[in-house]
Chain A
Amino acid sequence: MSENKNLNSIAALFDTPNKIITAARKVKESGYTKFDVNTPYPVHGMDKAMGLGQSKIGYVTLFFGFSGAIFIFLFMGWTMAINYPYIVGGKPLFPFQAFIPITFEVTILCGSIATVVGMLAVFFNLPFLSHPIHDSNYIKEVSNDKFGIVIEAQDPLFERERVIEFLKSLGAEKIEFIYEPEKEEFKILQPKFISFLVLVAALTSLGTFVTLNKLMYVVPFNWMDNQKKSNPQSETNFFYDGYAMRTPVVGTVAKGFMPYAYQGQAQPKVPLANPTLPTKQLLKMGQEKFLTFCSPCHGNYAQGVSRLMGQFPPGPTLHSAKIIGYSDGMIYNIITNGQNAMPSYAYQIPREQRWAIIDYVRVLQRAQNPNPSDFQAIKELKKESGKNAVN
């Protein structure tokens, strides 16, 4: 026994479970607190003999199990009812009955992971490979078929000779001294370690590169990037002319592009009927489009006062008797085909908006040439709004 080593504890080995129970009780009764019993398997009654209470690990399970349950239940409800409300299978947005199976599973999962990890890492402080007891003859005996007690040198009652005497008096087969392990020094910057780091870095980079750029794109996993089809404007050797795109059959009409029957004709034979109703919403749109496309030449109120200050020939007033007399279809024809200096607006204004503009022009015309009954109507409207104001 070399004296320069630091004594950690004194260990004693016993033969039978009965002896170890008695010994543990006596050690406890003698007032030692920093002692431990090592047995090859859990010996019944040892907790009582060592004066240890009930294990508190169950509270860890309880807490984490319930936390997991509450979390996952609310989480599922949040995803399905709040974050992305979505009705599946005719169930309500918060189908709590269908959440029960997953809630149950997550309760078990959280509870058991917390219990095992908590026990090993927090309660036992494992992994702990440098404990002085490791690699001693003592641990080899107690993990096989012997039962042992260790009394640590840190114990306030520890006195080397007295402890040895005491353990012998309990009937110990063998006494062993356990020393603190010698401190091992590791230099960080040794060539071996640095080359190891370099190797790991190189392998990680290579592995990442190959995985992300090559492996993820081998045939079964090509993410539908390579498909056996021709894209627009691409070449193909399937057709004799090498174009993948084909010219449509003569007379093909693209969806939503029904041609205008009087394209390029100044005077339609049967002008189209206005398909719209002058609703408030439609007139609003007509006003907006009129101000955008028509008012620069025809003026804000269609009175023929151009906003372009002579840069472009001004458009005529739309309040003339001729234009008031035009049918809606005729005005539509003019907007679509253009007239005199006015170009076609077919490509700038969609059909529905053209009709909306015509409805709005009718409103402007009526405002310039009102019927007497309109004044009566305005008066009543004002009365109504006055009443509302009083109320």
Chain B
Amino acid sequence: MNIDYTKELALVEGNPRLADIDEIITRPLTQPPTRKFYIALSVSVTALLIGAYSLWLTLYYGIGMWGNNVPVGWAFDITNFVFWIGIGHAGTLISAILFLLRQKWRTGIARFAEAMTIFAVMTAGIFPVIHTGRPWLAGYLIPYPNQHLLWPNFVSPLLWDVFAVSTYFTVSLMFWYMGLIPDFAILRDKSVDKIKKTIYSIFSLGWRNSNRHWRHYEKTYMIMAGLATPLVLSVHTIVSFDFAVSLIPGWHETIFPPYFVAGAIYSGFAMVMTVLIIVRKVFDMENIITLNHLERMAKVMLLTSSLVVYAYLMEFFIAWYSQIPAEQYDFWARVVGPYRWGWYFMVSCNFLIPQLIWFKKIRRSVVVLFVISICANIGMWFERFIIIVQSLSRDYLPSSWHMFTPTLVDFGVLTGSFGLFFTLVLLFAKTMPVISIVETKSVLEGAQPTVHGGSDHE
């Protein structure tokens, strides 16, 4: 590999023409589904059905079907919630923060990452609702004038969570849809099938590529990026408040907000990488989602992994420095206690394995990156598991210590969450442009004029 880093890399390889971009990106939409697609879909739908059945058992018999018990009141449910919300963070980071930082390489991966955000937040949203045991009463979380004359408790971090996650979902959905409108318009103009054309016409809202629209559109895109950037940082901050505001040793830490945000970005990038490596292979998009993209994402992973590891170390330091025996014991128990296997998983997946990314050969090897990204996903799941279950099982009173043992239903719901996420991802890849056509066209070589528009242009 001889890459000249002094020169800006081409964002799209092979120098395709504008018309080719439409062709490459819309190919999965126009061709009938392949065998590979059906196999993938059947696997994910099977997982989804396992989850649906487990969820039915949970609702029918109650959450006694799970392994949760005093003192471990939160276990797989909230672990999965934090895990999926974290996955969601990469999408907004790529589409908003990298946009504001003028990182044009985001073009190839932004749409997919945004879609993953939405699906991950949808998946995550299930867990806080079902973990209450009576999900049909969740409507009381909304502050509406009711017969009971009661309002939700606005000073509770759990209610902050409701506002944060629902705002995050709404804003991500709008951001995503806004980016899709011009692409739907392209599909509308390309398609000949009457039903497809009707659907695309409805979703494109009659977009007509007018420059009188583009100028507001670009401004709005920037404003939305500006709004989404603090939002994405606030969401996992507020999720971390669920823990940090309580008094459990291992939870009551001021480092939690930045620590959670870094972890979220790390796991999110890992998941984006896992999925994109499959997608670029299956749909022949190696020219648009290039090795350079993967390499850059690997670098972000290395950075956030280092931040997370710093937080791990700082947690231990503060536990020692605080001189609080319960806190000190909790962290010591992570290394030698009954859940040490989870902690070793976490450290090896989040600290040791990402160190490989320092090597350029590995950064440009798709297979190794794939393995690293999957390890990172596993590691981040175990991180949340350790924080939640290990801390709860070892609180102040040794007499109330109790181990958590997951049941089959617990694993069923976890499997189902992956099933839901990947089913949605697969359907998305087959029905919508997985890469922004408009943005890709605008970053092609020679796409932007060399003459100035006005005399007063600097």
Query: Which residues from chain A sit less than 8 Å from chain B, CB to CB?
Result: 16-18, 20-22, 24-25, 36-52, 54-55, 57-58, 61, 65, 75-76, 79-80, 83-84, 88-89, 91, 95, 98-99, 101-102, 104-106, 108-109, 111-113, 115-116, 119-120, 123-124, 126-131, 133-134, 139-140, 142-145, 219-221
Q: How far is the CA of A43 from the CA of B209 in the complex (A)?
A: 11
> Is the Cβ of A42 less than 8 Å from the Cβ of B171?
no
**Chain B positions 175-210 with a Cβ under 8 Å from a chain A Cβ:** 175, 178, 181-182, 185-186, 189-190, 201-202, 205-210
> Is the Cβ of B151 less than 8 Å from the Cβ of A112?
no
Nearest CB of A to B188, in Å:
8
Chain A residue nearest to B203 in the complex (CB): A127
> Is the Cβ of B151 less than 8 Å from the Cβ of A48?
no
> Is the Cβ of B167 less than 8 Å from the Cβ of A145?
no
Q: How far is the CA of A36 from the CA of B453 in the complex (A)?
A: 15
Question: Chain B contacts of A129 at CB under 8 A?
Answer: 201-202, 205-206
Question: Chain A contacts of B453 at CB under 8 A?
Answer: 21, 24-25, 44-50
- The residue that B220 contacts in the complex, of A16, A43, A76, A116, with Cβ under 8 A, is A116
Question: Chain A contacts of B241 at CB under 8 A?
Answer: 101
> Is the Cβ of B216 less than 8 Å from the Cβ of A119?
yes
Q: How many residues of B sit at the interface, in one of the four size bands?
A: 35 or more
- The residue that B217 contacts in the complex, of A42, A99, A127, A220, with Cβ under 8 A, is A42
B227 at interface (Cβ–Cβ under 8 A)?
A: yes
> Is the Cβ of B208 less than 8 Å from the Cβ of A112?
no
> Is the Cβ of A40 less than 8 Å from the Cβ of B454?
no
With A17-B448, A101-B238, A102-B163 known as contacts, the answer to whether A112 contacts B153 (CB < 8 A) is: no
Q: How far is the CA of A43 from the CA of B234 in the complex (A)?
A: 34
Question: Chain B contacts of A57 at CB under 8 A?
Answer: 216, 219-220, 223
> Is the Cβ of A44 less than 8 Å from the Cβ of B449?
yes
Question: Chain B contacts of A80 at CB under 8 A?
Answer: 151, 154-155
Q: How far is the CA of A276 from the CA of B293 in the complex (A)?
A: 88
Q: How far is the CA of A124 from the CA of B220 in the complex (A)?
A: 12
With A45-B449, A99-B154 known as contacts, the answer to whether A115 contacts B210 (CB < 8 A) is: no
Question: Chain B contacts of A101 at CB under 8 A?
Answer: 157, 160, 163-164, 234, 238, 241
- The residue that A37 contacts in the complex, of B164, B210, B438, with Cβ under 8 A, is B210
4 additional A-B pairs beyond A101-B160, A119-B217, A140-B189, beta carbons within 8 Å, are: A17-B447, A21-B451, A79-B143, A126-B205
> Is the Cβ of A119 less than 8 Å from the Cβ of B220?
yes
What is the interface of chain A mostly: helix, strand, loop, or mixed? helix
Q: How far is the CA of A40 from the CA of B231 in the complex (A)?
A: 31
> Is the Cβ of A102 less than 8 Å from the Cβ of B160?
yes
Q: How far is the CA of A127 from the CA of B446 in the complex (A)?
A: 32
> Is the Cβ of B451 less than 8 Å from the Cβ of A220?
no
With A38-B210, A38-B211 known as contacts, the answer to whether A25 contacts B154 (CB < 8 A) is: no
Nearest CB of A to B426, in Å:
27
B441 at interface (Cβ–Cβ under 8 A)?
A: yes
Nearest CB of B to A70, in Å:
15
Q: How far is the CA of A254 from the CA of B450 in the complex (A)?
A: 96
Question: Chain A contacts of B224 at CB under 8 A?
Answer: 112, 115-116
Question: Chain B contacts of A55 at CB under 8 A?
Answer: 215-216, 218-220
Question: Chain A contacts of B156 at CB under 8 A?
Answer: 88
**Chain B positions 130-183 with a Cβ under 8 Å from a chain A Cβ:** 136, 143, 149-151, 153-157, 159-160, 163-164, 167, 170-171, 174-175, 178, 181-182
Q: How far is the CA of A113 from the CA of B134 in the complex (A)?
A: 31
Which of A83, A106, A112, A133 gathers the greatest number of chain B CB atoms within 10 Å?
A112
Question: Chain A contacts of B143 at CB under 8 A?
Answer: 75, 79
- The residue that A102 contacts in the complex, of B154, B208, B441, with Cβ under 8 A, is B154
Complex interface: stretch among B17-25, B29-37, B38-46, B340-348: B17-25
Which of B136, B439, B448, B450 gathers the greatest number of chain A CB atoms within 10 Å?
B448
With A40-B438, A144-B18 known as contacts, the answer to whether A115 contacts B223 (CB < 8 A) is: yes
Which of B143, B202, B439, B453 gathers the greatest number of chain A CB atoms within 10 Å?
B453
Nearest CB of B to A296, in Å:
44
Q: How far is the CA of A128 from the CA of B204 in the complex (A)?
A: 10
Which of A105, A106, A131, A221 gathers the greatest number of chain B CB atoms within 10 Å?
A105
**Chain B positions 1-58 with a Cβ under 8 Å from a chain A Cβ:** 17-19, 22
Question: Chain A contacts of B19 at CB under 8 A?
Answer: 144-145
Question: Chain B contacts of A36 at CB under 8 A?
Answer: 210-212
B338 at interface (Cβ–Cβ under 8 A)?
A: no
> Is the Cβ of B154 less than 8 Å from the Cβ of A108?
no
> Is the Cβ of B220 less than 8 Å from the Cβ of A115?
yes
With A58-B223, A98-B154, A108-B171 known as contacts, the answer to whether A40 contacts B18 (CB < 8 A) is: yes
Nearest CB of B to A283, in Å:
39
Q: How far is the CA of A87 from the CA of B60 in the complex (A)?
A: 36
Q: Give how many A-B residue pairs fall within 8 Å (CB-CB).
A: 224
With A41-B439, A115-B223, A140-B189 known as contacts, the answer to whether A105 contacts B167 (CB < 8 A) is: yes
Chain A residue nearest to B457 in the complex (CB): A48
Which of B175, B186, B220 gathers the greatest number of chain A CB atoms within 10 Å?
B220
B230 at interface (Cβ–Cβ under 8 A)?
A: yes
B360 at interface (Cβ–Cβ under 8 A)?
A: no
Question: Chain A contacts of B136 at CB under 8 A?
Answer: 221
Q: How far is the CA of A127 from the CA of B177 in the complex (A)?
A: 14
Question: Chain A contacts of B452 at CB under 8 A?
Answer: 21, 45, 48
> Is the Cβ of B234 less than 8 Å from the Cβ of A17?
no
Question: Chain A contacts of B219 at CB under 8 A?
Answer: 54-55, 57-58
> Is the Cβ of A113 less than 8 Å from the Cβ of B170?
yes
Question: Chain A contacts of B155 at CB under 8 A?
Answer: 80, 88-89, 91, 95, 98-99
Question: Chain B contacts of A39 at CB under 8 A?
Answer: 209, 211, 214
Q: How far is the CA of A304 from the CA of B150 in the complex (A)?
A: 56
B281 at interface (Cβ–Cβ under 8 A)?
A: no
> Is the Cβ of A134 less than 8 Å from the Cβ of B438?
no
> Is the Cβ of A131 less than 8 Å from the Cβ of B18?
no
> Is the Cβ of B206 less than 8 Å from the Cβ of A128?
yes
Q: How far is the CA of A115 from the CA of B441 in the complex (A)?
A: 25
B213 at interface (Cβ–Cβ under 8 A)?
A: yes
> Is the Cβ of A127 less than 8 Å from the Cβ of B151?
no
Question: Chain A contacts of B216 at CB under 8 A?
Answer: 55, 57, 119, 123-124
Nearest CB of A to B258, in Å:
16
Chain B residue nearest to A80 in the complex (CB): B154
Chain B residue nearest to A102 in the complex (CB): B163
Nearest CB of B to A164, in Å:
21
> Is the Cβ of B206 less than 8 Å from the Cβ of A38?
no
Question: Chain A contacts of B300 at CB under 8 A?
Answer: none
Nearest CB of A to B22, in Å:
6
Nearest CB of A to B260, in Å:
14
B442 at interface (Cβ–Cβ under 8 A)?
A: yes
Question: Chain A contacts of B206 at CB under 8 A?
Answer: 126-131, 134
- The residue that B438 contacts in the complex, of A41, A130, A139, with Cβ under 8 A, is A41
A-B CB contact pairs (8 Å), 19 listed = A36-B211, A37-B210, A37-B211, A46-B214, A80-B154, A98-B155, A99-B155, A105-B238, A112-B175, A115-B223, A116-B220, A120-B181, A124-B216, A129-B206, A133-B208, A134-B206, A139-B208, A145-B22, A145-B441
Question: Chain B contacts of A65 at CB under 8 A?
Answer: 227
Nearest CB of A to B356, in Å:
38
